[in-house]
Structure 1
Amino acid sequence: MSIHKQVIFATEQQVKNIGFTVYSPISGKITPLINHPQTIFSSGILGCGLAFEVTSHKIVAPFDGIVEQIKLGGSEVYFKAKNGIKLLIALEIDQEYFPLPGLAIKKQEAQQIKAGEPIIHFDLRKIPVPIYGCVTILNHQKLGAIYYSQSNITAGSDVLFKITSKKR
């Protein structure tokens, strides 16, 4: 189930040789975006994507490009790919746990990145409540179908999305 019909589940084999590859920037169990606790994400207002139950202590670069912004103490990171795709990774963390324990920002705004490079690190063990996150494609209107094929994903090694071009 997805808010935007452009986010489609497909098997890895079905999308193996198509589209632009976006690697997962966070690890966790994927859930529909509608399950995100913040309405701005769950309603799809900011864009389309997927929500996560986060299981790891890091955010990594999803593709080659740049870090556009890091906001809210490292809990929001904006990326831009070389082909123009814009992505937001947002973690939903109780304000009680700010600043993030063990926070280390490995890349700064406007820095070039390579897929899989560490961007943010924090100590997940010191946050005893579940952390929810989402990966939102901010400029999805300019794109075609966005495919995903997994329900549990590992940051930096698993493909999160295969993004196709919009048909003219």
Structure 2
Amino acid sequence: MAYEQLAKDILAGVGGKENINSVVHCTTRQGLAIEPSEGTLYAPADGHVALVFPTGHAIGLNTTAGAEVLIHIGMDTVNLEGKGFETLVEKGQEVKAGDPLVKFDLEAIKAAGYEATTPVIITNSKNYHQVKVLATGQVTVGQALLDLE
């Protein structure tokens, strides 16, 4: 795969089972979700950290290719008020694909009664002709997940 192609791809930032049915699609946002099998979120592309929620449960990235990516660890996990989340980056920080962003306690999330399903949303998907899902089923960190055309 040529670098130009790879630069458009969003890689899996967490390993687990891809679950496209868990993401709410609307006319302005597209993406998918992963049921994580491990407790570290990695950068899905080169870029800079645009947003870090104070509770550590969500990160926004602006990729060098122009994509705006929001990754939300778990469903309603904002209610955990940061318990079980350790943010490893700061807003404005430059990151490379594969850099660790957040450590999270997968078992604590589930024990508190929350789903760990982790949506990966392209918040500026309206800027692309198509957001194509490249991976289904079990995915590994660093695997090509989405292609932005």
Q: Which runs of 5+ in 1 are unaligned?
A: 1-15, 37-41
Percent identity of equivalent pairs: 21
Aligned partner of 1:50 in structure 2 is 32
RMSD: 2.2
Q: Which runs of 5+ in 2 are unaligned?
A: none
Count of residue pairs brought into register by the alignment:
141
* Structure 1 pair 96–31 and aligned structure 2 pair: CA distance change class (3 A): same
Query: Structure 2: how far apart are the matches of 1:123 and 1:72?
Result: 16
Residues 109-160 of structure 1: per-residue CA shift (max 9 Å, x gap): 00000000001002223232431120110111111222223222122x2111
- TM norm structure 1: 0.73
Query: Structure 2: how far apart are the matches of 1:87 and 1:96?
Result: 22
* Structure 1 pair 48–97 and aligned structure 2 pair: CA distance change class (3 A): same
User: Which moves more between the two structures, 17-26 or 63-72?
Assistant: 17-26
2:49 is the counterpart of 1:67: yes
**Max radius of gyration: which structure?**
1
Residues 13-61 of structure 1: per-residue CA shift (max 9 Å, x gap): xxx564612111122211224x34xxxxx14266100022222211111
Query: Structure 2: how far apart are the matches of 1:144 and 1:46?
Result: 12
Runs of 4+ in 1 over 4 A off after TM superposition: 16-19, 93-96
Residues 79-122 of structure 1: per-residue CA shift (max 9 Å, x gap): 00112210100121446643232x32111000000000001002
* Structure 1 pair 21–43 and aligned structure 2 pair: CA distance change class (3 A): closer
Q: Is the 8 A contact 2:57 2:77 kept in 1?
A: no
Q: Is the 8 A contact 1:93 1:132 kept in 2?
A: no
Q: Is the 8 A contact 2:133 2:147 kept in 1?
A: yes
- TM norm structure 2: 0.81
Aligned partner of 1:7 in structure 2 is none
